[in-house]
Structure 1
Amino acid sequence: MMKLPHVQLSKLDISWEVIGSVPEELIHRHKVFPYKKEGKNIFLAMVDPLDFIALDEITLATGLQVIPALTTEAELNTVINRYLGFSQELVAAINQFETEENLLYKFTFDFDRLHHENDTPIIQAVNGIIEQAVVRGASDIHIEPHEEGIKVRFRIDGLLQEIFTLPCKVHPPLASRLKLMAKMDIAERRKPQDGRIQIKIGGRKVDLRVSSLPTIFGEKLVIRILDQEQKLRQISQLGFSEKQLKIFSKLLSFPYGMILVTGPTGSGKTTTLYAALNELHTVEKNIITIEDPVEYVFDQINQVQVNPKAGVDFAKGLRSILRQDPDIIMVGEIRDRETAQIAVRAATTGHLVLSTLHTNNAAGALTRLVDMGVESFLVASSVVGIVAQRLVRKVCPHCREEYEPDKNSPERLFLGPEYYRLPFTLIRGAGCVNCNFTGYKGRTAIQEVLIVESEERDFLLEKADAETIQEAAVKKGMITMRADGLEKALKGITTVQEVMRVTINL
């Protein structure tokens, strides 16, 4: 008899494409889990690899050749909970608890592991929520108490998705557990609080920023997930069109001046700044950042965390940085007049300054600085370029399909008159287990890149508004965010509906 390999599932990083190859109902019924796929072969971890009924059913359901491997029931339960949610046993156990007192002081938390057979159900629940969110690629976890129950939602690809609902009586110990982990005051429930948790999941360092807010049904908790192991992107991976990438690369080659990245919260501005720093970093340059918070740690770059309690805000930190002989400065966000003025003066005195602003479009960044109190001639002489961007969801590669829009569909109207009658096809996601049946998986950016030249400087000195500057830039050939998004939709990267959603106010 051939000896079957033993698989430690919990140490593997299993893709959703592989998991989606086997119906979830069969995974639960037969106590199996797919962990690898090669061609027409699906590799299946099983507690009982000799369960021929299971092997036959899965072969029939998938059309793939099943190659079994041995695993333990504990390993299997761990990955099922990690990838497919909480077990019925866990939810049932949580339902048994009636008071906070019999749970609160039993808590212990080992940051290097998330599951243990001796953990109480509340500890398992908190750990499971965090682990599942990280595995699914969520950026935020929302734990929301309501009259009918506690809703747990994950923000995935920019939009909130409801994951499950827990009973109301679980909320006090659940909230206390998270606050205890985040070193918050568990007795204080009337005031908003902030805290931080650092953990490891599968060897990955993850930083969690916890925020509590009192509501009429209890404390709402939001956990921002910052995956420290996430690889830094190259600027070529940010979704720039070929033309825009050349312009952005040209801006980064300037020895001094200010480059701004604009957009609303959650539009990928920090990711773009980090990719730019990754491009600029060499041993010959002294790069210093001031951030709130420091989201990802760079090797060989000096990063400063804003600390109001210690008297370090953006303006004071920036002044100190200028005494540190910097070549390149990154300011996480220009929030006030003082920071704006210092950053602009740094850009005009031989430093390359990168920062972010909240504006609707690229031209709006120029007038925003003036509105903040910076002299227009200083803005004109310091800002060399602006990237405005939004994030759109990408069509799921596992369930993408072609379709022809109806004659009076919003897609045709949004694309413009030339598409009103023209027969053409677009791409959309039908929805599958890999994308949680949304039709989308992952995100990319749509951008517009404005290079500030003599015409834009003249407009600024003449006190022109943002609309005038934007229109002139488009006439010169600037690709707007909407145009960039529609081009990506026609290529099947995203959908017209997504572009409509994020550019409707432009």
Structure 2
Amino acid sequence: MAVPLQKKKMLGEMLIAEGIITRGQLERTLAEQKLHGGRLGVILRNLGYVSEEAIIKVLGKQMGIPHMSLDNVIVEPDIAKMIPETVARRYQAIPLYKKGNIITVAMVDPLNVFAIDDIRRITGSDIQTVVSTERDILKSIDRFYSVSSSMQDAIKDFASQAAAEEGIDERPIALEAKAADETPVIKLVNMMITQAVKDGASDIHVEPDEKATRIRYRVDGILHEVMNPPKHLQSGISSRIKIMASLDISEKRVPQDGRLNMNVGEKSLDIRVSTLPTIFGEKVVMRLLDKGAILPGLEEIGFSTAALNKVKKMITKPYGFILVSGPTGSGKTTTLYSALNTINSMEKNIITIEDPVEYQLNIVNQVQINPKAGVTFATGLRSILRQDPDIIMVGEVRDKETAVIAIQAALTGHLVFSTLHTNDAPGAIARLVDMGIEPFLIASSLMVVVGQRLVRKVCQKCKRAYKPTAELLKELEISETSDITFVEGAGCQNCRGTGYSGRIALFEVLVIDEAIRNLIIAKASTTTIRAAAFKTGFTGLREEGLDKAIKGITTLEEVLRVTQEIVE
């Protein structure tokens, strides 16, 4: 490492001060350096007195530059490709992520101003450095650029093949079918799925644009662009995915849905495929479901102690209607599964009807809807009632017919779980009324509504205290003079520079007590029901979010993002 002279002179003393080497070891090292020359740090390592990692940590501390281990680094592809591999190897530097106009670059020598200036010139961005070991840097360069080049090689191979076949006198569909079965496109699509699994993505989006194709992964609920294959490869990619999902590649005018099973490493995936015709071609979305995923318990998904106790009390009732509400992707199905797992036993006949079946539960009879075969939520629910069920789970109440059957089942001695797409828990009642359900039926059957949202968790690797803006505090009705310490993620390799890693749910639990029941029968508004609930200890989603922000689990920005449309 080319550290300035004054820094080198201090290295030995720093290592002694940190208790890493002794005075005698330093003297022997200096004597060796005087005889044979060489860098002090290298000689210390060769003599076995210290590891490269220990030297880097001390130098990082001395220079005031953060030290970073790159063992589990996830490099942003669109950031990394801003720096050619030759430059990365020349300067022993690798870009990690970008925040605003600042790229964080891990370097063996973070004080090499020539390297920093060159990288700044190449990327057109400001550079923030972190220090890492030579071993980590080279290992990360090998790992990322080999994956990146493999992906690019697959795209180039596919593009070359497509160009060679232009002008062949074949029908377009036959040509696409042939291309979709050739090795380059198979390799590209397989790599696309494999990388998505490594990145922890829940969905892959293949989006046609006017002049290119855009591939995006959804990680922790947020979409990230990962590559842009040329426009003329789009039809081959979508055709390959459609073949894998047993869809009709000749039909591009109407949406199609399919599924496929695929193993990636030790993971067994159930992949749901959806196509949609757009003005620039077919958009394809793949939902990745890990069949071996471990289902979290109710205690692990974000319930406060008070809310958890309310829910546990309700799900052990012998009959009644339990609803979970929230927008698409808010974790409703996971909550239902966790509840069913809590009360599951050999003495109970539990039957579910779902679209899709996302988790496989032991001793639970799970039914997948199949509209083409006439199995809808409503028809399936009717059949389930003839199967002597104790507990029924309906994936979603989509229409009046399903709602009526579910409520009748709850009124005739069954415990029924389902979901609704509403903004909050009180809004679920209004949605049922809008469907045409009589208020007295709702009041008689409904026991509890659980409203929920998912917020991203602050990355624990780079969590730091910060001062929220006055505007944000005002929006969330927090006093600017408050002495509460809030946190945010600074951005690191663990979170791909986002400051967030993982998600947790916010919950509000509306128990249908006598007062709420009377308001339902009186056709009271959602606002009135919500106000009445607060008087009896109801805690809203925003309050739950603020509590998690105060505890350092999430940020105020996340709380505002997911609760903005809810009036407390």
Q: TM-score, normalised by structure 2?
A: 0.73
CA distance in 1, matches of 2:290, 2:216: 18
Aligned to 2:402: 339
Superposition RMSD in Å = 2.9
Are the counterparts in 1 of residues 322 and 418 from structure 2 also a CA contact under 8 Å?
yes
Q: Out of 498, 503, 507, which is 1:447 matched to?
A: 507
1:319 aligns with 2:382: yes
Residue type of the partner of 2:333? Answer: T
Aligned to 1:238: 301
Q: Out of 135, 156, 160, which is 1:96 matched to?
A: 160
Q: What pairs up with 1:240-319 in 2 under 5 angstroms?
A: 240-319=303-382
Q: Out of 65, 69, 72, which is 1:19 matched to?
A: 72
Q: Out of 228, 231, 240, which is 1:168 matched to?
A: 231
Are the counterparts in 1 of residues 476 and 560 from structure 2 also a CA contact under 8 Å?
no
Q: Out of 179, 197, 219, which is 1:134 matched to?
A: 197
Are the counterparts in 2 of residues 404 and 424 from structure 1 also a CA contact under 8 Å?
no
Identical pairs, percent: 49
Q: What pairs up with 1:106-505 in 2 under 5 angstroms?
A: 120-406=183-469, 409-417=470-478, 419-505=479-565
Are the counterparts in 2 of residues 287 and 301 from structure 1 also a CA contact under 8 Å?
yes
Query: Any stretches of 5+ residues in structure 1 without a counterpart?
Result: 1-15, 33-59, 70-75, 109-118
Greater shift after overlay, 459-468 or 385-394? 459-468
Greater shift after overlay, 85-94 or 444-453? 85-94
CA distance in 2, matches of 1:213, 1:232: 31
Q: Give 1:505 shift.
A: 0.6
Aligned to 2:106: none
Distance 1:248 1:80, change over 3 A: farther
Q: Give 1:152 shift.
A: 0.5
Greater shift after overlay, 370-379 or 316-325? 370-379
Aligned to 2:23: none
Q: Give 1:87 shift.
A: 4.2
Are the counterparts in 1 of residues 484 and 550 from structure 2 also a CA contact under 8 Å?
no
Residue type of the partner of 1:455? Answer: A
CA distance in 2, matches of 1:367, 1:169: 48
Q: What does the per-residue CA deviation read over 1:42-93, in whole Å, with 9 as the maximum and x for residues that have no partner?
A: xxxxxxxxxxxxxxxxxx9435998x99xxxxxx879953xx7854433433
Q: TM-score, normalised by structure 1?
A: 0.81
Query: Secondary structure of the equivalent of 2:553?
Result: coil
CA distance in 2, matches of 1:349, 1:477: 30
Distance 1:380 1:251, change over 3 A: same
Are the counterparts in 2 of residues 290 and 331 from structure 1 also a CA contact under 8 Å?
yes
CA distance in 2, matches of 1:161, 1:85: 19
Q: What does the per-residue CA deviation read over 1:274-303, in whole Å, with 9 as the maximum and x for residues that have no partner?
A: 101110101111000011121222221001
Residue type of the partner of 2:188? Answer: A
> Larger C-alpha radius of gyration, 1 or 2?
2
Aligned to 2:171: none
Residue type of the partner of 1:147? Answer: E
Q: Give 1:217 shift.
A: 1.7
Higher helix content, 1 or 2: 2
Query: Any stretches of 5+ residues in structure 2 without a counterpart?
Result: 1-68, 93-129, 169-174
Query: Secondary structure of the equivalent of 2:228?
Result: strand
Distance 1:107 1:170, change over 3 A: closer
Q: Give 1:151 shift.
A: 0.7
Distance 1:106 1:316, change over 3 A: same
Q: Give 1:423 shift.
A: 4.2
State the aligned residue count: 443
1:105 aligns with 2:178: yes
Query: Secondary structure of the equivalent of 1:166?
Result: coil
Are the counterparts in 2 of residues 232 and 275 from structure 1 also a CA contact under 8 Å?
yes
